[in-house]
Amino acid sequence: MEMEKLVSLCKRRGFLFQSSEIYGGLNGFWDYGPLGVELKRNIKEAWWRDMVTGHDDLAPPPGAPEAYEMVGLDCTIIMHPQVWKCSGHFDLFVDKMVDCRESKKRYRYDQVPGRWVEAKGQKIFVTTAVEEHHEADLESRALKFFNLRAKDAGDLAWEGPVVSLAKIDPALYEKALGPDAKALGTLTAPRDFNLMFKTFVGALSGEEGAAYLRPETAQGIFVNFKNVCDSTRVRVPFGIAQMGKSFRNEITPRNFTFRSREFEQMEIEFFCHPKSSPQWYQYWRDRRMKWYTDLGLAGERLKLREHDKDELSHYSCGTSDIEYAFPFLPPGEFGELEGIAHRGDFDLRSHMEGKLVAKDGQLVVEQGPDGKPKWKGSGKDLSYRDDLTNERFVPHVIEPSAGADRGTLAFLCEAYHEDQAPDEKGEMQTRVVMKLHPRIAPLKAAVFPLVKKDGMPEVAQRIYRAIKPHMPVFYDEKGAVGRRYRRQDEAGTPYCITVDGQTLTDGTVTVRDRDSLKQDRVHESELVAVLRERIG
């Protein structure tokens, strides 16, 4: 599937719009239209229901070491700045970026592809801003730089593969041709760029009033661990779930909503005994993978990838990513949908003791130049006492952290299909159909009168009103019925109900299945039950 087709359908049918589009848009920000908002809500609601409200606290689910409890939380986007100092985000949540003195543009240096090339006795590292088919753009930029014509492409002597700028020694940047530059040596040395959005609380505009929009929802859970333990009767093992907006000032937002600057996360922090944490890590990896497959992400496009040891954070005993082969990625490449990390006791200890660093294989509080903790923790006791065994310990954490927008994008990509279906005249036409799982489809059914006369609209409206209290349903009487079917196929509506001449005599309507295109007759009085059963 070409991504352009999905992007165009999303705009045409009201799934996704560029933010502030009438003013030219704002890079990295997206709005959900009338269909998109329902789709994303359904995905978030499915997550909340499957992980929290629908979870059986009393019996171990398949694969779980024992029964566990799940509760929810909704905390603020702006939190005490010390949260981000102890969590490490203030010091370490950075991307390396380079600036171009000529084009005045800024790039994430690990996302600038380039290649060494020699011609006319000069060797340069030519780079590109093009996201796909780098080779063609690198060649045309190199030809232009060396003042060669396309027919002289053979005069370019390429050296080594395409690599990112991150692999090049900054001392050699004087030989680099920036992605949008005409001259060599315009790129600055890489610098740290903190991804947190800074803001000011109250009337204080100096550092005193500085605060940050949260770059993840997770820290709100850790800082409320004690509150949840004290105010509920949860016992370890248990999980706290939270969904909500997060903000990251990404240097190069790209690929539709995949890397945005404002997005929603769905995160669980699962607190368990250190001894059983490896089993819980395995459980959550499998549980989360199953959640996506149950909702229709299946086959070769979804995979669970265990991180190599050298990819792990210093405190992590294991991390896996659930990845999807998004169509905008080169063949064979996958993009992260969700990370499942074993985080040990890093987070709770950081918020007790202060920002931690690894030293000789141990986590210790980082010291400032004065020998005191660089960033002081809360000093509050965030350990847990097991009232049955009397054991006191700092729970270990398993963190399944998903992106609601990336999930929505993956479900949209997976749903997009083109097939052949007959039009009103029986001629085969290409049909665009969004095969969304009925549970997440924005509309569950649409009701049409076959024609706008003979009392059919009145019956169809009655049916529409009877279904509406039970599920989202759409009424449409405008245009040829074939056209109306096509619109609902593009919206991903699983069932279309049509009132025709026979309805007026025997009370039955046709129910058309979006995917199989099969139609069967159902009595008006049984419609809600039949739809409920089919939607599941």
Provide, rounded to whole angstroms, the least separation between the CB of residue 502 and ligand GAP: 49
What are the structure tokens assigned to 141, written together?
């930029």
* Contact between 287 and ligand GAP per CB under 6 A: no
Residue with tokens 């992590």: 316
The span from the CA of 530 to the CA of 514, in Å, is: 15
Provide, rounded to whole angstroms, the least separation between the CB of residue 522 and ligand GAP: 40
Helix residue ranges per DSSP H, 125-254? 134-145, 218-223, 225-231
Q: Where do the DSSP E strands lie in 5-58?
A: 16-18, 30-32
Give the one residue of 38, 69, 99, 267 binding ligand GAP; rule: CB under 6 A: 267
Give the one residue of 178, 220, 339, 494 binding ligand GAP; rule: CB under 6 A: 339
Looking at the Cβ atoms of 259 and 484, the one nearer to ligand GAP is 259
Say how many residues touch ligand GAP, by CB under 6 A.
19
* Contact between 269 and ligand GAP per CB under 6 A: no
* Contact between 16 and ligand GAP per CB under 6 A: no
Looking at the Cβ atoms of 336 and 454, the one nearer to ligand GAP is 336
For residue 508, give the H/E element and its range.
strand 508-513
Give the one residue of 242, 260, 498, 503 binding ligand GAP; rule: CB under 6 A: 260
Looking at the Cβ atoms of 398 and 496, the one nearer to ligand GAP is 398
Write the burial class of residue 411 (CB in 10 Å: 0-12 exposed, 13-18 middle, 19+ buried). Answer: buried
Q: Which stretch binds ligand GAP (CB under 6 A): 16-24, 153-161, 257-265, 378-386?
A: 257-265
Write the burial class of residue 20 (CB in 10 Å: 0-12 exposed, 13-18 middle, 19+ buried). Answer: exposed
Give the one residue of 38, 69, 250, 414 binding ligand GAP; rule: CB under 6 A: 250
Looking at the Cβ atoms of 213 and 402, the one nearer to ligand GAP is 402
Bridge partners for 354 per DSSP: 376
Write the burial class of residue 190 (CB in 10 Å: 0-12 exposed, 13-18 middle, 19+ buried). Answer: buried
Site for ligand GAP in 217-246 (CB under 6 A): 218
* Contact between 265 and ligand GAP per CB under 6 A: yes
Q: Which stretch binds ligand GAP (CB under 6 A): 36-44, 101-109, 256-264, 355-363?
A: 256-264
* Contact between 401 and ligand GAP per CB under 6 A: yes
CB atoms inside a 10 Å sphere around CB 395 = 24
Looking at the Cβ atoms of 221 and 415, the one nearer to ligand GAP is 221
* Contact between 336 and ligand GAP per CB under 6 A: yes
* Contact between 248 and ligand GAP per CB under 6 A: yes
Provide, rounded to whole angstroms, the least separation between the CB of residue 248 and ligand GAP: 5
Closest residue to ligand GAP, judged by C-beta, is 403
Give the one residue of 13, 85, 259, 514 binding ligand GAP; rule: CB under 6 A: 259
Nearest to 174 by CA among 207, 125, 109, 236: 125
Identify whether the C-beta of residue 474 lies closer than 8 Å to the C-beta of residue 488. Answer: yes
Nearest to 187 by CA among 157, 161, 166, 215: 166
The span from the CA of 272 to the CA of 6, in Å, is: 42
Nearest to 481 by CA among 493, 492, 497, 467: 497
User: Contact residues for ligand GAP (CB under 6 A)?
Assistant: 216, 218, 248, 250, 259-260, 263, 265, 267, 336-339, 399, 401-403, 405-406
